[in-house]
Amino acid sequence: MGMSTLTSLLQVTHPNLSLRARAVVDALFLSAGSIGTAHDVASRLGLRNRFELARLLKAEGLPPLHDLAAWASVVAWVQHAERTGQSLCQLAFRAHKDPAVCYRTVKRVTGLQWQKLKVEGITEVLQRLLARCHAQTAIERRDAPPGTPITDTVPALEHERDCGNAQTTYGASDRATLEQPHRRRGRAVS
């Protein structure tokens, strides 16, 4: 299963991915997860900072950049192991990475140990990745106030940046934080 199959799956499950989000996903999976820091990626996409990149990915229903990078690495490792029969330890040494970090990454992102994942194969990895993307979309919808459309989409972000008027839709956890009085040096700020 190649890169085009993965991007096709993401296109089917997330048909409205913006060009920027698609560029991030494609770059991550083409480079096996290594495309630089969030700040670098944001500037290459024409975004102001890594926080704007994080909002873009969240609005698109995708995991944060570091999680997407980890998923891209795991997909590459499983594909390579299926083709060559190499162990994850061999793949890690070949990529100049600590094998323990690679094993922990597999466990963290997939919930499975490497041996089990290697038996399950690339199909299981992709199913878990797509489930993670669906979970991210469900969390985004759950946090929004009832009846409030999620307006934090890429066109809205671009419009905010161009016009300078930031309209933000807050989730339940954000509202609780905003309703608390702000404190500076022990005193409430009004």
Read off the pLDDT of residues 94-125 as tens digits, 9 standing for 90 and up: 989 999 999 999 999 999 999 999 999 888 88
Q: How confident is the model at residue 30 (pLDDT cuts 50, 70, 90)?
A: confident
Q: With contact defined as beta carbons under 8 Å apart, do 21 and 56 qualify?
A: yes
pLDDT tens string 63-104: 899 999 999 999 999 999 999 999 999 999 998 999 999 999
| For residue 15, pLDDT beyond 50 | yes
> What pLDDT is attached to residue 14?
66
**71 contact partners, CB below 8 Å, separation of at least 6:** 28, 33, 63, 109, 129, 132
* pLDDT above 90 coverage of the chain, percent: 41
> What pLDDT is attached to residue 181?
43
pLDDT tens string 129-171: 888 877 655 454 445 454 444 333 333 333 333 333 333 333 3
Q: What is the SS3 string spanning 107-170?
A: HHHHCCCHHHHHHHCHHHHHHHHHHHHHHHHHHHHHHCCCCCCCCCCHHHHHHHHHHCCCCCCC
> What pLDDT is attached to residue 54?
94
Token readout for 124 is 């299981």
> What pLDDT is attached to residue 64?
92
Q: How confident is the model at residue 45 (pLDDT cuts 50, 70, 90)?
A: very high
Q: How confident is the model at residue 39 (pLDDT cuts 50, 70, 90)?
A: very high
| For residue 28, pLDDT beyond 80 | yes
| For residue 49, pLDDT beyond 90 | yes
- Mean residue pLDDT of the chain comes to 74
Closest among 68, 63, 79 to 5, alpha carbons compared:
79
Put simply, whether the predicted model's pTM sits higher than 0.85 gets the answer no
| For residue 6, pLDDT beyond 90 | no
3-state SS assignment for residue 35: coil
